[in-house]
């Protein structure tokens, strides 16, 4: 059976990045993209509808404001609740074989442009989940605003966190943000290695183990998640204003960011 893959995301005031994010993922082989818009004052919905009009069946936009308010009242994680809802609705439809959850600053990357997400799946042995490690951009004072996601040469920071492709099955599945728990599941990494949990700190395989990371941090994986935390200085500052209401954090600013300060260490990789 030919894979059919849905990509799903939540978004808040990220209209400036929607076209780039959508067209990248359509190009690499995702069949449909579903975006749940919440707490938004920009023109994200109009942008998605305009793109969707030229690509019938490829884009779905949902208003998630009511679900966000419900999650606040119940004190539950909006991002996980949304992902779980999309997962169950999509599985029930029977239309798709796989689903992937990414943020609007995350991009699935194949270093070989001829290998799409579909081709990747067909080459794999049997799996329930395949997780791809983050490679994070580095602060760069010379970077212009709204540049392409990758240049001819890129210095990226490898990270233990993963994002995960899930195969639909009848197995009981608990959705998490970075990975999901599948009963008796086969859990792989994008390079074919088994994703193993050696310590509870990995939080159900949402990160690779410290041991695995230290052994492989200099390896350049052919498939990974490009996580654009920093971009240009102006974009970085603007991103702080989106907050983290989706994880029940009511602070005005995103507090899981640590400043736009260039740094170097032996985990950084040159990607061409």
**pTM summary value:** 0.94
Q: How many residues does the chain have?
A: 272
Phi and psi for 139 in degrees, rounded to 5? -55, 135
How confident is the model at residue 125, as a pLDDT? 87
How confident is the model at residue 248, as a pLDDT? 60
DSSP state of 231: S
Distances (CA, A) of 255 to 68, 178, 182, 243, 244: 20, 19, 31, 8, 8
pLDDT tens digits for 48-104?
Answer: 999 999 999 999 999 999 999 999 999 999 999 999 999 999 999 999 999 999 999
Q: What is the pLDDT along the chain (272 residues), one digit of tens a residue?
A: 799 999 999 999 999 999 999 999 999 999 999 999 999 999 999 999 999 999 999 999 999 999 999 999 999 999 999 999 999 999 999 999 999 999 999 999 999 999 999 999 999 989 999 999 999 999 999 999 999 999 999 999 999 999 999 999 999 999 999 999 999 999 999 999 999 999 999 999 999 999 999 999 999 999 999 999 999 999 999 888 776 665 566 666 667 777 888 777 777 999 99
How confident is the model at residue 243, as a pLDDT? 62
Q: For residue 189, how far is the Cα from the chain centroid?
A: 15
Fold entry, domain 5-271: Spore Coat Polysaccharide Biosynthesis Protein SpsA; Chain A (3.90.550)
If you write DSSP's letter for every residue of 90-132 in order, what string do you get?
A: HHHHT--SEEEE--TTEEEEESSTT--HHHHHHHS-S-SEEEE
Long-range contacts of 199-207 (CB under 8 A, 24+ apart): 203/176, 203/178, 204/176, 204/179, 205/131, 205/162, 205/179, 206/161, 206/162, 206/176, 206/177, 206/178, 206/179, 207/160, 207/161, 207/162, 207/178
- Quote the tokens at residue 125: 């042995």
How confident is the model at residue 246, as a pLDDT? 55
In the block, which residue shows the tokens 């029930």? 92
How confident is the model at residue 100, as a pLDDT? 99
Compute the distance between CA of residue 186 and CA of residue 191 in angstroms, rounded to an integer: 14
């Amino acid at each position: 059976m030919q894979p059919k893959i849905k990509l799903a995301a939540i978004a808040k005031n990220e209209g400036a990045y929607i076209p780039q994010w959508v067209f990248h993922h359509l190009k690499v082989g995702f069949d449909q993209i579903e975006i749940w818009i919440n707490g938004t004052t920009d023109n994200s919905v109009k942008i998605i509808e305009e793109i969707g009009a030229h690509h019938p069946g490829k884009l779905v936009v949902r208003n998630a404001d009511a679900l966000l308010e419900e999650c606040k009242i119940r004190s539950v994680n909006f991002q996980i609740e949304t992902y779980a809802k999309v997962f169950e609705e999509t599985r029930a439809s029977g239309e798709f074989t796989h689903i992937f959850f990414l943020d609007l600053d995350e991009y699935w990357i194949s270093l070989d442009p001829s290998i799409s997400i579909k081709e990747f799946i067909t080459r794999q042995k049997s799996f329930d989940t395949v997780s791809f490690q983050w490679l994070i951009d580095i602060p760069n004072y010379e970077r212009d605003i709204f540049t392409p996601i990758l240049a001819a040469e890129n210095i990226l920071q490898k990270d233990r966190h993963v994002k995960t492709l899930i195969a639909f099955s009848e197995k009981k599945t608990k959705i998490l943000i970075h990975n999901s728990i599948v009963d008796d599941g086969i859990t792989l990494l994008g390079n074919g290695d088994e994703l193993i949990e050696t310590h509870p700190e990995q939080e159900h395989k949402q990160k690779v183990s410290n041991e695995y990371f230290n052994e492989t941090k200099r390896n350049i994986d052919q498939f990974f998640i490009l996580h654009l935390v920093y971009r240009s200085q102006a974009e970085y500052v603007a991103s702080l204003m989106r907050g983290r209401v989706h994880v029940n954090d009511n602070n005005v600013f995103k507090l899981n960011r640590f400043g736009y300060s260039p740094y170097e260490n032996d985990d950084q990789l040159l990607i061409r």
